Amino acid sequence: MKFNRKQLGGLLLFLISFSGFTSCKEYLDAKPDQHLQIPSTLQDLQSLLDNRVYVADYDVTNLNAFSDDYFCTYENWQTFPTSDQNVYIWSHQNVFPPYDQNDGNDWSFAYDHVYIANTILENIEKISVDNSDISTYQNIKGQAYYLRAWSLLEAAWIWCQAFDSSTAASNLGLPLRLTTDFNVKSVRSTLQETYNQIISDAKNAIALLPQTPISTVRASKPAAYALLSRIYLSMRDYDHAGKCSDSCLQLKNDLMNYNTLDSTKTYPFSKFNIEVIKDGAHGLSYCTYPAFANIDTALIKQYEPNDLRKVMFFSQAGAGYYSFRGDYNEGLTWVGIATDEMYITRAECYARNG
């Protein structure tokens, strides 16, 4: 069969296109990095949760710089990176929150955690387990629900209005990302829907998690009760907040005796001490670094001279000011959950309920 010039050109174009399509498909089927894997075992999923770089070390912590419990001098503030300067003065110079858009920020940290939780919840359903693996399976699934509840709660506290039962059904909440499918369009839920999801995840975590974890880096049943107590307290639901804090303390209720601690140490409280229920992320902005952050003088004056909290929590800084040293992370911002918080929550709920 003979082809004229036009027919030959069309045939060549078809062959080139087909060849390109085939090679393109082969290219897309190939992994861009042979180290990339889809988590396919329980150990893979637990490793995602145990990755402190992506799960524990990054949290919604930098916005502690908005706190009015401390202040920085102008001279120190001038030495901060621009992003930290903007945070400290509530600047709207960039898209709120005031970060360089090319840097990681608290919004992305929160939704990174949500994505990891969704990855685990989706893939764990594909793993076949026998009776010997049931407890591990439930533990991992419970940790994922806990992580998603924790992350969504922190995001809701910052980027949503305070919960009010009379307006929650109409106020805007968060985009509830419950899948890893990036083709699903993000749509903001109502504030009521946001809190309903957070509560549901926390309750699922309670049902699945063990009472005692192998390490407080991992979530547990007491931690999930404590988290649910935090959720209800922020909703001003004091009845449920009190009951959840009490349920937590029924399982773990250790308290430190400050008389036995050494106040001369740089950090009197050790990491992973007996009060820690769930170790949290830690982070540090220049604004909250003890060398720069001076505690508000009105706060310091509330402590009596013989109050052990004053010498345990604070140390004297220059110019007659004090700096904070009383966290459970030896100098870095700690946002975990401990029994002392649950005792205070339960006491507040008792008081509010008469």
* pLDDT at site 30: 55
| Domain count within the chain | 1
pLDDT for 42 equals 96
Contacts of 29 (CB under 8 A, 6+ apart): none
47 near 71, Cβ under 8 Å? no
Q: Which CATH number fits the domain that encloses residue 299?
A: 1.25.40.390
Report which of 140, 154, 146 is spatially closest to residue 106, judged by C-alpha positions. Answer: 154
The pLDDT assigned to 206 comes to 98
**Beta strands, E only, 99-215:** 172-175, 188-190
- Which amino acid makes up residue 268? P
Cα 261 versus chain centre, distance: 30
Residues facing 278 on adjacent strands: 337
Neighbours of 64 (CB within 10 A): 18
Quick check: 247 and 241 in contact, CB under 8 A? no
Q: At what angle do helices 339-352 and 221-234 cross, to 10 degrees?
A: 40
Instruction: Tell me if 279 is assigned to some domain.
Output: yes
DSSP codes joined into one string, 195-232: HHHHHHHHHHHHHHS-SS-SSTTS--HHHHHHHHHHHH
Query: Is 314 within a domain?
Result: yes
How many residues can be counted in the chain? Answer: 354
Instruction: Write out the chain's pLDDT in tens, 354 residues.
Output: 554 555 545 544 544 454 555 455 554 555 555 555 788 899 999 999 998 766 765 556 566 667 788 899 999 999 988 878 887 887 766 444 545 555 567 788 889 999 999 999 999 999 999 999 999 999 999 999 999 999 999 999 989 999 999 999 999 999 999 999 999 999 999 999 999 999 999 999 999 999 999 999 999 999 999 999 999 999 999 999 999 999 999 999 999 999 999 999 999 999 899 999 999 866 667 788 888 889 999 999 999 989 999 999 999 887 889 999 888 888 777 889 999 999 999 999 999 999
User: Where are any strands of DSSP class E within 82-146?
Assistant: none
Specify the pLDDT at position 105.
72
The pLDDT value given to residue 12: 46
Encoded tokens for 99: 């970060």
Residue 241 domain-assigned (yes or no): yes
In a domain, 155, yes or no: yes
Please tell me the distance from the alpha carbon of residue 244 to that of residue 353, in angstroms, as a whole number.
Answer: 15
Give me the pLDDT at residue 35, please. 54
Residue 123 domain flag: yes
Helix crossing, 42-50 with 106-123: angle to 10°?
170
Residue 5 inside a domain? The answer is no
Q: Residue 331: which region, alpha, beta or left (left: phi > 0; alpha: psi -120 to 50)?
A: left
pLDDT at 11: 46
Range of the domain at 189: 39-352
Q: Is the residue at 20 inside a domain?
A: no
**Could you count the other beta carbons within 10 Å of the beta carbon of residue 255?**
11
Structure-block tokens of residue 40: 């396919």
Domain assignment present for residue 179? The answer is yes
Are residues 242 and 346 in contact, defined by beta-carbon separation less than 8 angstroms? yes
